[in-house]
C-alpha cells in the first residue's frame, strides 16, 4: 500500500531507512537539491 509522506520535498537523490529515534519503527532520511528531510513514523 502506497502512502504520501510529503509532497513538497522533491525527488530523493539519496535516502536511508533506519530507526533514527530508537522507538522500534523504521524512519526515513532523504537528501536532495532542496535539503535534507527526516520523516519519523508514529504509532
Residues in CB range of 16: below 8 A, 6 or more apart:
28, 29
Instruction: Return d(Cα 15, Cα 23) in angstroms, integer.
Output: 19
pLDDT one-digit tens code per residue, 1-43:
666 666 666 666 788 999 999 999 999 998 888 888 888 998 8
Task: Give the N- to C-terminal CA distance of the chain in Å, as an integer.
Answer: 17
What is the structure's pLDDT at 10? 61
Give the pTM: 0.65
Instruction: Return d(Cα 11, Cα 24) in angstroms, integer.
Output: 26
Amino acid at each position: 500500500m502506497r502512502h504520501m509522506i510529503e509532497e513538497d520535498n522533491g525527488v530523493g537523490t539519496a535516502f536511508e531507512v533506519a530507526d533514527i529515534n530508537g522507538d522500534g519503527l523504521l524512519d526515513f532520511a532523504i537528501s536532495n537539491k532542496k535539503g535534507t528531510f527526516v520523516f519519523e513514523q508514529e504509532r
